[in-house]
C-alpha cells in the first residue's frame, strides 16, 4: 500500500475536487479517482469529502493507493499468441474458448491469468492491463496496456471511438447489401443473461458490409462504433441475420432445403458463434502513431466457408 500527498494550488480554486486531483495525477483516470474518493481512500486535511465539492486552494490531499483487484488472481503458464508488443502495449490474438478475465465460475485459465505469467508487472494494473474484452467463444485481436498511462489513454480511445475494431462474421441468410444498425442495447428484460435491442438501453452502432454471399448464408464484415456487450450478435440477429453457431441469439440450427450431409454436419459441428476480431487499429498511447494489425480467420471459420462454397458450387 502506497500513499501520495499533494497540495491543490490556488489556481484550481473553484474547480470540482475530483477534476482538480485528476489534473494533478494524469496517470490515473478521473473515474478511478472518483471511486477512490467515494471509498474514503482520498482525504483532504485528513477528512472525507464528496467528488463534487469545490477546491478552495492549498488543501492537503492524501491518496492511498491500494493493491489492484487482480492481486488475488494467479499467474498461469497459458500459451498466448502475441502479435506485437513494446514497452507500453501487447497485442494478443485470442483463441476460441479462452475467457478474458477471472469471474464467477472462471477463476483460472483465463487470458488475464496468462498475461500475469507473461509479464508480472501487469499485477500493478487494474484487470492486468486489459481494457476491452472478447466473449469466450469469439476469437481475435485485443490490446493490453502495460502502464497506467497507456491504460488510461486506451480507455479514453475506446470511449471516444478512436479505436477501430473490424470483425468477420458468418450469418444465416442471403444478405443483399451492407448497412448500419443504430439501435440501443441493454439487458433483456425476459432473460438477464442476454442483451437485447431496447429503448432503455445504451446507444449502439454497428456497420456491416458483405464480404461473400452464398446461397443461404453470408460472410460479413462488421465494424463497431460502440462496444456494447454482445453488440454484433444482438444487432445482426435483430435485422434477421443471426450468427451461425450462436444459440443464444440465433435459436436452433437452420438447414437449407436440399442441404447435403456435408453442410448439415458443418452447421451441427460449429459449436461457437462464427465471429472473429480480424483487424484492430489504435493510436499508440505513448507515441501517438496510428497502428493497425490483422489476424487471419481461424481454421474452423475457414473450413465452414469452404463447405458453404462447395454447397453453392453443386
Residues with catalytic roles: 135
Distance from C-alpha of 175 to C-alpha of 192, rounded to nearest angstrom = 30
| DSSP assignment letter at 11 | G
3-state helix, strand, coil in the chain (%, to 5): 30, 30, 40
For residue 165, the tally of other CB atoms under 10 A from its CB is 24
Distance from C-alpha of 60 to C-alpha of 284, rounded to nearest angstrom = 35
Give the bridge partners for 213, in sequence order: 218
For residue 268, the tally of other CB atoms under 10 A from its CB is 11
| DSSP assignment letter at 106 | B
Burial class (CB in 10 A: 0-12, 13-18, 19+), 3: exposed
For residue 257, the tally of other CB atoms under 10 A from its CB is 6
Q: Is the dihedral of CA 110, 111, 116, 118 positive or negative?
A: positive
**Which cell is 192 given?**
438477464
250-257: long-range contacts (C-beta < 8 A, 24 or more apart)?
A: 250/172, 254/172, 256/215, 256/216, 256/311
* Cα dist from 275 to 53, 106, 181, 193, 200, whole Å: 46, 22, 17, 19, 26
**Which cell is 259 given?**
442441404
Pick the closest to residue 113 from 68, 122, 83 (CA basis): 122
Amino acid at each position: 500500500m502506497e500513499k501520495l500527498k499533494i497540495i491543490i494550488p490556488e489556481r484550481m480554486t473553484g474547480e470540482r475536487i475530483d477534476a482538480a486531483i485528476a489534473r494533478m495525477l494524469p496517470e490515473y483516470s478521473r473515474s478511478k479517482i472518483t471511486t477512490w474518493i467515494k471509498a474514503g481512500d482520498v482525504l483532504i486535511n485528513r477528512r472525507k469529502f464528496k467528488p463534487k465539492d469545490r477546491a478552495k486552494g492549498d488543501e492537503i490531499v492524501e491518496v492511498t493507493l491500494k493493491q489492484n483487484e487482480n492481486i488475488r488472481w494467479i499467474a498461469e503458464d497459458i500459451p498466448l499468441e502475441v502479435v506485437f508488443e513494446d514497452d507500453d502495449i501487447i497485442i494478443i490474438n485470442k483463441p476460441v474458448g479462452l475467457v478474458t478475465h477471472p469471474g464467477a465460475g472462471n477463476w483460472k485459465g483465463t487470458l488475464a491469468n496468462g498475461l500475469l505469467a507473461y509479464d508480472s508487472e501487469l499485477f500493478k494494473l487494474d484487470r492486468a492491463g486489459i481494457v476491452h474484452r472478447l466473449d469466450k467463444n469469439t476469437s481475435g485481436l485485443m490490446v493490453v496496456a502495460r502502464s497506467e498511462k497507456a491504460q488510461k489513454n486506451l480507455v479514453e480511445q475506446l470511449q471516444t471511438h478512436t479505436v477501430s475494431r473490424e470483425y468477420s462474421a458468418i450469418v444465416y441468410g442471403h444478405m443483399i447489401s451492407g448497412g448500419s444498425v443504430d439501435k440501443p442495447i441493454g439487458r433483456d428484460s425476459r432473460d438477464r443473461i442476454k442483451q437485447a435491442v431496447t429503448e432503455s438501453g445504451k446507444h449502439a452502432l454497428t456497420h456491416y458490409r458483405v464480404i461473400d454471399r452464398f446461397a443461404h448464408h453470408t460472410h460479413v464484415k462488421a465494424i463497431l462504433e460502440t462496444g456494447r456487450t454482445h453488440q454484433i450478435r444482438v444487432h445482426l440477429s435483430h435485422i434477421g441475420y443471426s450468427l451461425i453457431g450462436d444459440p443464444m441469439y440465433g435459436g436452433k440450427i437452420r438447414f437449407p432445403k436440399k442441404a447435403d450431409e456435408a453442410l448439415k454436419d458443418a452447421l451441427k459441428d460449429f459449436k461457437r458463434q462464427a465471429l472473429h476480431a480480424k483487424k484492430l487499429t489504435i493510436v499508440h498511447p505513448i507515441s501517438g502513431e496510428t497502428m493497425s494489425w490483422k489476424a487471419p480467420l481461424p481454421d474452423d471459420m475457414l473450413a465452414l466457408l469452404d463447405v458453404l462454397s462447395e454447397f453453392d458450387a453443386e
